[in-house]
Chains A and B, each alone.
Chain A
Amino acid sequence: MAVTIIFLGPLRDLAGTESREVPGPLDWAGLLDHVGEAVAEQLTEARINVACGGKVLSDKTQLSAQDGEEVALLPPVSGG
């Protein structure tokens, strides 16, 4: 089992992949370590949200993902 990191929108291009599996559990420091420098730099900006297990975190630095969970990195949206 592992934690799956999902890169959405422009972060997908920056990461060069749609998803990546990393060993769990995963906290904020671990996430920054696993996503590469370019994505990590973006992640520290307030405009990037993080969801864990299908819920958007109100404080992404409190991330605590367990084995089998999905962590999604959510850049600013543009629909419609």
Chain B
Amino acid sequence: MDDIRLVMGSLNTNQVMDQLAMVAPDAGGIASFIGKVRASGVDALELSYYEPLTLPSMQALASDAHVRFDLMGLVMLHRVGELAPGEPIVCVAAAARHRRDAIEAVDFCMDHLKSAAWFWKREKRAGQWHWIEPRAADHADLARWAGKNAPV
């Protein structure tokens, strides 16, 4: 049972985790990652997206995660719009019979959300907006999955 969504308003990560635990009662473990806006140094963060591509790319990523890992439930929620310091940007959680599948699925989904899903991010610092370019490290993180647990 998956929950893959773009979130316009605030993101209640506790509620999301409770729901995943409920829909996957036989899971032996749930792993999660919450990405957030750093509390200092940034006035605001804005995530933009392209409707015809962004959610479909997240759904395709979820399907890929199910092929690679033995999952009982997957949550992938991504904020869009303007966010304040301290707010969660993204919440990925996976429930699985065994911990390794859950942990690796979250890692896999985050690496792809960072540098292979259709989002554009800019930060407001000292009153000025700055677009965030993908870092070389993000691409290196993504490359780790090439061939690993790949669908046959």
Contacts and interface: CB of A to CB of B under 8 A. Distances in A.
B18 interface: no
Contacts of A75: 120
B16 interface: no
Interface in B108-143: 110, 113-122, 131-134, 138
A77 B52 contact: no
A58 interface: no
B114 A79 contact: yes
Could you say which of B47, B48, B118 has the most chain A C-beta atoms within 10 Å of its C-beta? Answer: B118
Given A8-B48, A79-B113, A56 B120 contact: no
Majority secondary structure, B binding face:
mixed
Given A8-B48, A10-B131, A79 B121 contact: yes
Interface in B7-41: 35
Contacts of A78: 114-115, 119-121, 131-134, 138
B102 interface: no
A74 B115 contact: no
A67 B35 CA distance: 41
B48 A79 contact: no
A12 B114 CA distance: 20
Q: Which of B35, B113, B120 has the most CB of A within 10 A?
A: B120
Interface of A: 6, 8-10, 12-13, 51, 54, 56, 70, 72, 74-80
3 A-B pairs with least C-beta separation: A9-B120, A79-B119, A54-B52
30 contacts: A8-B50, A8-B120, A9-B122, A10-B122, A12-B48, A51-B50, A51-B52, A51-B53, A54-B52, A54-B53, A70-B52, A74-B53, A74-B118, A75-B120, A76-B133, A76-B134, A77-B115, A77-B117, A77-B118, A78-B114, A78-B115, A78-B134, A78-B138, A79-B78, A79-B90, A79-B114, A79-B118, A79-B121, A80-B89, A80-B119
